[in-house]
Chain A
Amino acid sequence: AQSVTQLGSHVSVSEGALVLLRCNYSSSVPPYLFWYVQYPNQGLQLLLKYTSAATLVKGINGFEAEFKKSETSFHLTKPSAHMSDAAEYFCAVSERNYGQNFVFGPGTRLSVLP
């Protein structure tokens, strides 16, 4: 069975600083990986996904993530944080042939300080 861990339940960065949110996964087969963002009182919105094409995936709002098989990681980055990036971020994994088994990590709350 697959699983996801996200290091750091809360991350704070200054406006303009690099954003790095960590995600490690466990999967018995090559995974599909996703990052979602959730703003207060809203549902989850897809930021980007990895489906075995390029290992560096670009998403919306200037975010990108790199799939590293050797490290079983899929960390999310953004070069320069903006106040509007403050939200909860979730990493998720699903397995080929069992796409309904979508497993989410516990989430990381990002705060952006002025």
Chain B
Amino acid sequence: ETGVTQTPRHLVMGMTNKKSLKCEQHLGHNAMYWYKQSAKKPLELMFVYSLEERVENNSVPSRFSPECPNSSHLFLHLHTLQPEDSALYLCASSQDPASGGHEQYFGPGTRLTVT
């Protein structure tokens, strides 16, 4: 595997379900990101992890819970979601974000549908 991978690619869940999205990067980066991409809206940064510590949380509802067990893996745990949470969830990674200038590499995304 190369680059950034995400599983599953598609997920349909009910509002009472609990599921997790997985992201893995094979680039040796030390920062990972979760973004939400909804139709007609700009890409929204949800969480940033640098060196496995959360450094950014953009007022995301608590029904989204991130986990970063090591610098290569990132999870997004989902529970009691709402229909408006249906979107494409993108994972990205980069080198040391604090100094800036480092491009982010994106996975293919998980298309989430909440019914």
A residues neighboring B (CB under 8 Å)? 32, 34, 36, 41-46, 49, 51, 90, 94-107
> In the docked arrangement, what's the CA distance between A95 and B102, Å?
10
> In the docked arrangement, what's the CA distance between A51 and B99, Å?
12
- CB-CB contacts of B46-82 with A at 8 A, as 1s and 0s? 0010100001100000000000000000000000000
Contacts of A45 in B (CB 8 A): 106
B101 touches A32 (CB 8 A): yes
Contacts of A36 in B (CB 8 A): 106
Our pick among B33, B100, B109 for the contact of A42 (Cβ within 8 Å) is B109
A95 touches B42 (CB 8 A): no
Q: How many A-B residue pairs have CB under 8 A?
A: 70
B105 touches A46 (CB 8 A): yes
> In the docked arrangement, what's the CA distance between A107 and B40, Å?
9
Our pick among B6, B56, B105 for the contact of A100 (Cβ within 8 Å) is B56
15 sample A-B contacts, Cβ–Cβ < 8 Å, listed by A number? A32-B100, A34-B103, A41-B109, A43-B92, A44-B104, A49-B103, A90-B43, A94-B101, A95-B100, A97-B98, A97-B99, A99-B96, A99-B99, A102-B33, A106-B41
Q: Name which residue of chain B comes closest to A9, CB basis.
A: B40
B109 touches A102 (CB 8 A): no
Main secondary structure of the interface of A (DSSP, over half): strand
Contacts of B101 in A (CB 8 A): 32, 49, 51, 94, 96, 99
How many residues on chain B are close to A (CB under 8 Å)? 30
> In the docked arrangement, what's the CA distance between A97 and B106, Å?
21
Contacts of B6 in A (CB 8 A): 43
> In the docked arrangement, what's the CA distance between A81 and B56, Å?
38
Contacts of A44 in B (CB 8 A): 43, 90, 92, 104, 106
New contact pairs (14) apart from A103-B45, A104-B42, A106-B42, CB-CB < 8 Å: A36-B106, A41-B109, A42-B108, A43-B106, A43-B108, A49-B101, A97-B99, A99-B97, A99-B99, A99-B102, A100-B33, A102-B45, A104-B43, A107-B43
> In the docked arrangement, what's the CA distance between A98 and B33, Å?
14
